[in-house]
Amino acid sequence: MANRINKVNFHCVTNNTAHRTIEITRKQLIVRRGQPFLLTLEMVQPFSVRDTLLLTVETGSAPSERHGTRSQFGNPSAKYTSDAKAIWKYEIDRSAVLERGIVALSVTPPTDAPVGKYSLSAMTHGETRNLGTLVVLFNPWCSGDWVYLPDDRERQEYVMNEEGTVYIGTSHYIGSQPWIFGQLNSNDYEGVLVGRWDGNYSDGCSPTCWTSSVSILQRWFQNRCNPVTYGQCWVFATVMCTVMRFFGIPCRVVTNFQSAHDSNNTLAIDEYYNDYGVRSKEASESVWNFHVWVEGWMKRPDLMKGGIYDGWQVLDPTPQEESEGVFCCGPAPVNAILRGDTDVKYDVPFVYAEVNADIVKWMISTNGSKKKMYTDSMSVGQSISTKAVDSWKRVDITDSYKHREGSAEERAIFKRAVRMNSKEGQGDIEEAPQYVEMKIKEETKAINGQDIKLRLKLSSKDHTNKVLSVRVNAQAMRYNGNPADNILNKVQHVTLLSGQDVAIPIQIPFADYSKYMVNCDSIKVSAVASDSDEYYQTETNITLEQPVISMKVLYPVHVNHEMTLEVEFKNPLNERLRNCSLTVIGCGLFKSDYIQSDLGEVEPKATLKLKITTTPYRAGLKTVVADFDCSSFRDIKSSCIVDVKP
């Protein structure tokens, strides 16, 4: 007679605690590869270690031993084919009360087991019973796993930390935006986003409104897995970071400032200007103010032996260019990018160009002819940034992507990458001589709500005097490098004496730029100086400093006790703010987004004050993030730390 299984105990709380998944759930068994978990079977009769007990795990639509998606193991020992992968095992705890039919098993998923949701069944003397399901994740704590990360501080940061920072702005004005990853709240969602960059978000949410991956994934789930509208690069990247950390892959969000989008694989970005310094509104190639992707930590056994390409891998979820017929990018080994090994899989040439392409500046004359002004080999790939481990500080990791800009080693690797890419660049076209040096500087920091004051300096590098026509143009820019609208056009004639300097003040009134900057990220100020023979050009990106939201927590704060958060925002303008709304979110503090959209109007120079109450449900240091939106300022963000006591 078969010894039937009467009860099964997955010990979810004990196992999930040991496998560091207890914050995800207490009701579903979630374990990590290469680490044993406890499973107790209660038989109707006494059990002997010689009795038949075969366990079977299966995942996917067509489980097979060959693909590692099926494994049968136990007593008697299963016979595997030579191509079998991901073989599971268990050991019987002999201290269990076997004579009473209590069988305690220590089950170990192999380090190469595919991650996912498995069914588990048991066979005793020819009778099979379905025991339930379990989820298997990667294990960065296990040295045999491909995602093993030796440093525990890094594991806490890149796997367990639910809060972080995304760096935005420009290389001259690096801003930070708090973000709630919430991977321990996210279950096993597969986040889906729609990207949009044209400024029209009326049928969805502006990409700047988001502060949390949890909000996006919950909306996706509640809408029956329909795409969430809308996202841009930092939203795609942060959602991907959440999913990767949930699966157990160490992951960090990385921002590349002055990021090139090279659509034709020449490792050169062509920028075209007319004689007013105005760029065309749309271009297939551009230099983004910033671009955000993620790095995942993993081995690359599919590449060269010796592990030269193991470690951080670039994965870019923003749909830009197709890779092997699909809009995706990576994994591209960071070390391959540093070495200029553009023949390495996957998409190394595209990422290499993002951090190291040259910019070729062209002047388009009124008759349609074009003239090469100069090549900028220094600007692309600035201040590549990520959040520090155990800190809210920014870490510059540019050196891991390329050698010092302009160095002999950097230029040699660039030329090698161009040769390996088999594309002919523009280096053979003669550049115009640069007899005039130009530079635009901010007189004071540009603040949204105030006039912008700049100074254009022209310096003579020639032995002759020049009479120049100087045209200054200001354009509202989207962060992906495409102009949205013209703000300012100014023409002035100056005489530049040999070896001398001339300074021209530039002022952009708030009244002129305000309506354009509600949906734009920066102002591109460009100057073109010309005489009868040559053109000279310079430009700068102006990022506006935004007003500040202040937040204060009224202490003490304890789990399951109501807490109060005070929020203040002062209107810096001499005009009313309309359509004001506030969104607040925090893991362990709010079970869903707190949204107050009926704040009405804020009078000129007045201060908006709010008190928000919530009941924390998890102890520890938590981050609360606020987003204030109105007719004049879009999605101003702030954050503060809350110390929740048990």
Reduced to 3 states, what is the DSSP secondary structure of residue 96? Answer: coil
Residue 143 lies in a domain: no
Cα Rg, the chain, nearest whole Å: 30
Per the model's pLDDT, the better-predicted residue between 423 and 200 turns out to be 200
According to DSSP, the residues that pair with 128 across neighbouring strands are 123
Reduced to 3 states, what is the DSSP secondary structure of residue 233? Answer: helix
Is 27 in contact with 42 (CB distance < 8 Å)? no
Domain boundary among 542, 569, 592: 542
- The confidence score (pLDDT) of residue 187 equals 44
Is residue 148 over pLDDT 60?
A: yes
According to DSSP, the residues that pair with 440 across neighbouring strands are 456
Is 476 found in the same domain as 456? Answer: yes
Is 561 found in the same domain as 517? Answer: no
Model confidence over 514-528: pLDDT tens digits?
A: 999 998 989 999 999
Residue 142 lies in a domain: no
Is 110 found in the same domain as 19? Answer: yes
Domain boundary among 137, 168, 198: 137
Nearest alpha carbon to residue 53 among 34, 37, 77: 77
Is 514 found in the same domain as 555? Answer: no
Residue 429 lies in a domain: no
Known binding site: residues? 356, 358, 405, 410
CA distance 442 to 453: 6
* Long-range pairs, 625-628, Cβ under 8 A, ≥24: 625/178, 625/179, 625/180, 625/211, 625/212, 625/584, 625/585, 625/586, 626/549, 626/551, 626/567, 626/582, 626/583, 626/584, 627/209, 627/211, 627/582, 627/583, 627/584, 628/549, 628/569, 628/580, 628/581, 628/582
Is 360 found in the same domain as 288? Answer: yes
Is 410 found in the same domain as 318? Answer: yes
Residue 146 lies in a domain: no
Is 336 found in the same domain as 280? Answer: yes
Q: What is the mean pLDDT of residues 90-119?
A: 94
420 backbone dihedrals φ, ψ, rounded to 5°:
-65, -30
Domain span holding position 204: 152-421
Domain boundary among 73, 107, 137: 137
Known binding site for Ca(2+): residues? 356, 358, 405, 410
Is 553 found in the same domain as 538? Answer: no
CB neighbours of residue 79 within 10 Å: 7
The answer to whether the peptide bond before residue 178 is cis (omega within 30 degrees of 0) is: no
Cα atoms in the 13 Å half-sphere on the side-chain side of 173: 17
Lowest mean pLDDT among 2-6, 374-378, 587-591: 2-6
- By annotation, the residues acting in catalysis are 233, 291, 316
- The confidence score (pLDDT) of residue 222 equals 87
Is residue 410 over pLDDT 50?
A: yes
Is 307 found in the same domain as 159? Answer: yes
Is 228 found in the same domain as 189? Answer: yes
- The confidence score (pLDDT) of residue 432 equals 66
Residue 430 lies in a domain: no
Structural domain tally of the chain? 4
User: What CATH number is given to the structural domain containing 491?
Assistant: 2.60.40.10
Model confidence over 416-467: pLDDT tens digits?
A: 888 887 655 445 566 767 899 999 999 999 999 999 999 999 999 999 999 9
Residue 144 lies in a domain: no
Nearest alpha carbon to residue 331 among 320, 341, 317: 317
- DSSP string for residues in 347-385: THHHHHHHHH-EEEEEEE-TTS-EEEEEEE-SSSSEEEE
Is 124 found in the same domain as 156? Answer: no
User: What CATH number is given to the structural domain containing 305?
Assistant: 3.90.260.10
Q: pLDDT band at 645, cuts 50/70/90?
A: very high
Residue 147 lies in a domain: no
- Residue 530 token pair: 């010309």
Residue 427 lies in a domain: no
Tokens 């030269």 found at = 308
Is 180 found in the same domain as 84? Answer: no
